[in-house]
Amino acid sequence: MAMVAGHLREVKGYYHIVLSYVDSDGKRKTPSKSTGLPVKGNKKRAEAMLTAAKEKKEQELAQKEHLTKTQNSNNSGEISFAQYLSDWLSMMKGCVEQSTYGGYSRNIKKIILPYYNERFPSLKLCDVTPKHLQDFYSYVINERKSTANTAIHYHANIRKALQNAYRTGMITSNPADRIQRPKILPFTGGFYSVSEAERLLEAVKGDPLEFGVMMALYYGLRRSEVVGLKWSAVDFENKRISINHVVTMCDVDGKTKIVAKDRTKTKSSTRTMPLIPKVEQYLLRMKREQEQYKKLCGKSYCRDYSEYIYVNQIGELIKPDFLTTHFHALLEKNHLRQIRFHDLRHSCASLLLSNGVSMKQIQEWLGHSNYSTTANIYAHLDSKSKEVSAETISKLFSNA
């Protein structure tokens, strides 16, 4: 098994992890990554992160070595397709983030492997044809009644796995490149009107979901962004709030894990926005209440998440899934039209658009990576711009 060495380095007052190992190509690698921990008072935590990073890298290198051996012993592609997918999945566990691996694992173990094990148990990797894949996508859509978009997610996983087999010489071409991909259906989100949004804000008062609903409606935050908000992201003095940390949940080998990241979905999603007065007042109230709960609960209060804003009365972090499940129950209880929690983000955008805010400004408010993303989702709602166009063209030809 490959050994990984490492040490801590101080860079501008923060601990950085530096690893040293020889990769599968025989080249020495010395990657460096910030722990995000200030040097003062965090040596033990930094050392624990260093140990975890070394173990993770050793596991990753071992998995790559195992797959290489498998590939070398089955270089003609005689390995079964199902076994290859399992081996590829094992290799990816140490190569991608937990949330990404969780998606791969869920798709392959629960949907893709059961299909091929049942219908093509003896199918070899080298014998996989475009039809084998096309039939699977038809099964997903016609028999499982999943959407075409879901089938495309499975296709992306299969294609990535087969591309690795092609790159390493196990197959002569990638059959996933020669199939007819299911047609992506246009997305249409649910939107609340102003009156519906006001009814929701009234219904959610005093509920643990209140902060989540407020931030999704006011700022169009994603679920992961709401849960990932830290007190350090709020600048009460300059009236600013920053979106720079997310918390997600993923299923890794049957176990649900919380994954926290100091980066958002895209680079543009990291943004700083004005602190809306109502939100500021609510945050100050939350801060006071949390201090009261700390005193009231004493040692029973969970201090593991003290840097996070969205915690319950005993200090535990509000989980992303809670927002989804509890939101549905809250709407049902208050006889409000059913939409997804994520549709509050769309509601925020649609309300801004209907009140004269430009598409470009909405792009920046929501943190979309590019203008086309915003335009593709909300163009059908932009009736004001069409009215302006109609008035303009009418005036141009008024004398004709």
Tens digit of each residue's pLDDT (9 = 90 or more) over 239-272: 999 999 999 887 777 677 788 887 766 666 789 9
**What is the rounded average pLDDT for all residues in the chain?**
86
The architecture of the domain spanning 74-185 is Orthogonal Bundle (1.10)
Distance CA 343, CA 349 (A): 10
Distance CA 53, CA 49 (A): 6
Distance CA 221, CA 213 (A): 9
| Structural contact between residues 1 and 58, judged by C-beta atoms closer than 8 angstroms | yes
Q: Write the pLDDT tens digit of every residue in 273-289.
A: 999 999 999 999 999 99
CATH fold, domain 194-387, is hpI Integrase; Chain A (1.10.443)
* pTM beyond 0.85: no
CA 31 vs CA 4, 28, 57, 106: distances in Å: 11, 10, 11, 30
Burial classification of residue 301, based on how many CB atoms lie within 10 Å of its CB (0-12 exposed, 13-18 middle, 19 or more buried): middle
In percent, the amount of the chain with pLDDT more than 90 equals 52
Q: Greater confidence, 50 or 378? A: 50
Residue ranges per structural domain of the chain:
1-56, 74-185, 194-387
One-letter amino acid for residue 113 of the chain: L
Q: Write the pLDDT tens digit of every residue in 318-342.
A: 999 999 999 999 999 999 999 999 9
Q: How confident is the model at residue 374 (pLDDT cuts 50, 70, 90)?
A: low
Model confidence at 8: pLDDT above 80: yes
- Structure confidence at residue 363 (pLDDT): 86
**Do 194-387 and 74-185 have the same topology in CATH?**
no
Q: Greater confidence, 186 or 169? A: 169
What's the average model confidence in pLDDT over 210-222? 95
Q: Greater confidence, 114 or 259? A: 114
Q: Write the pLDDT tens digit of every residue in 340-349.
A: 999 999 888 8
Question: First and final CA of the chain: distance in angstroms?
Answer: 83
Burial classification of residue 47, based on how many CB atoms lie within 10 Å of its CB (0-12 exposed, 13-18 middle, 19 or more buried): middle
